[in-house]
Amino acid sequence: MGEHGVSKRSKAANREDSRPGEPAPRKAAAKKAPTEKSAAKKPAAKKATAKKAAAKKAVPKKAVPAKKAVPAKARAGGGATKPATRAKPAKPAATVRPAKPESRLAMIRRARRINRELAEVFPYAHPELDFRNPFELLVATVLSAQTTDLRVNQTTPALFAQYPTPEDLAAAVPEEVEELIRPTGFFRAKTKSIMGLAAALRDDHGGEVPGRLEDLVKLPGVGRKTAFVVLGNAFGVPGITVDTHFMRLARRWRWTESDDPVKIEAEVAEIFPKSDWTMLSHRVIFHGRRICHARKPACGACPITALCPAYGEGETDPEKARKLLKYEKGGYPGQRLNPPADYPGRPAPPAPGVAPGAVQTPSGAE
């Protein structure tokens, strides 16, 4: 309390209120500060926005080019579409040059290289019919039509045991011959052929097989293929044997486009020297029987894939292709009961029920 009965605290408060311009106490100032600041900011913010708006009006707007009309198809896709731009000229596509056709000279070189490669793969290639003389080879070749060489080799031992010469076969009873060669198929027609050629050999050639093509093709049942088999393997006269295997591979290797055996023979004869004709035939036939099959070639196990235009027609997987190999290449017996000494495979078994003594023995005539 002061002198006049008024508290010192109230006097101090009255003094503070009565002094304009002096700062308020801390607590009061803390409460009033936010409102004073916000009140001071509002007019400043309004002034700033007004200045920005005036500045925008003062700056002239850039001219915006009018958008091109968008086709109806583009508008149908929905969504915002970009303005159409001028299409850039397309770059010319890289032209793929077709492979040049193989020249004849290149084909001849490739064909001869195939022959050399097959000579290394099949150095033991030989005729796969058992025979001891030209007469037996001639009869066996006629019987081999529309059947396998193995079936013929299992049939001829009994036939030649009973009829060893042309004279004996020409004088045979047809029904007995038919029964002996029945396993080869078409036995009636084949009986007429082999008995007819036996009679022709007896009557016209003194019981001997002629060594000329023009004489052989006149015999019953003998065509050019059979004649060249006999000439090449019994007389050493070169010839090309165009059987089904040779014909198939010659076309696959593009040595020819013909399906006529006579034309194929003539075209292939122009590719290879005459001295190669007989062994070429054996090698191609060996390859066709063991590797390059008709329905499913073993491409993955073929030694001449780099030279073959038909690679890929068969099985290319090496493991699967090896299972398709036949005869000695697949580990199975060959077709001959009496193969040459250099044959690496196993001999074929005789026909069931044939006595061992009836099987032909090897001869140096081959």
How far does the chain reach from its first CA to its final CA, in angstroms? Answer: 157
Catalytic residue among 130, 149, 190, 243: 243
pLDDT by 10s per residue, the chain, length 366: 444 444 445 444 444 444 444 444 444 444 444 444 444 444 454 555 555 555 555 444 555 455 555 454 444 444 444 555 566 666 655 565 667 899 999 999 999 999 999 999 999 999 999 999 999 999 999 999 999 999 999 999 999 999 999 999 999 999 999 999 999 999 999 999 999 999 999 999 999 999 999 999 999 999 999 999 999 999 999 999 999 999 999 999 999 999 999 999 999 999 999 999 999 999 999 999 999 999 999 999 999 999 999 999 999 999 999 999 999 999 999 999 999 999 999 999 998 876 544 544 433 333
Catalytic residue among 149, 225, 276, 329: 225
Name the region of 206 (left: φ>0; alpha: ψ -120 to 50; beta: rest).
left
Determine the pLDDT at residue 352: 83
Contact between 156 and 138 under an 8 Å Cβ cutoff? The reply is no
- Our answer to whether residue 225 is catalytic in this structure is yes
Gap between the Cα atoms of 140 and 121, Å rounded: 27
Q: Cα dist. 12→7, 16, 67 in Å?
A: 9, 6, 77
**pTM attached to this predicted model:** 0.71
Tokens standing for 358?
């009836």
> Which DSSP string do the residues of 214-279 spell out, in sequence order?
HHHTTSTT--HHHHHHHHHHHS--------HHHHHHHHHTTS-----HHHHHHHHHTTS-GGGHHH
> 328 Cβ partners below 8 Å, 6+ apart?
290, 334, 343, 344, 345, 346
Gap between the Cα atoms of 88 and 83, Å rounded: 15
- Our answer to whether residue 168 is catalytic in this structure is no
- DSSP percent split of the chain into helix, strand, coil, nearest 5: 55, 0, 45
Gap between the Cα atoms of 30 and 111, Å rounded: 109
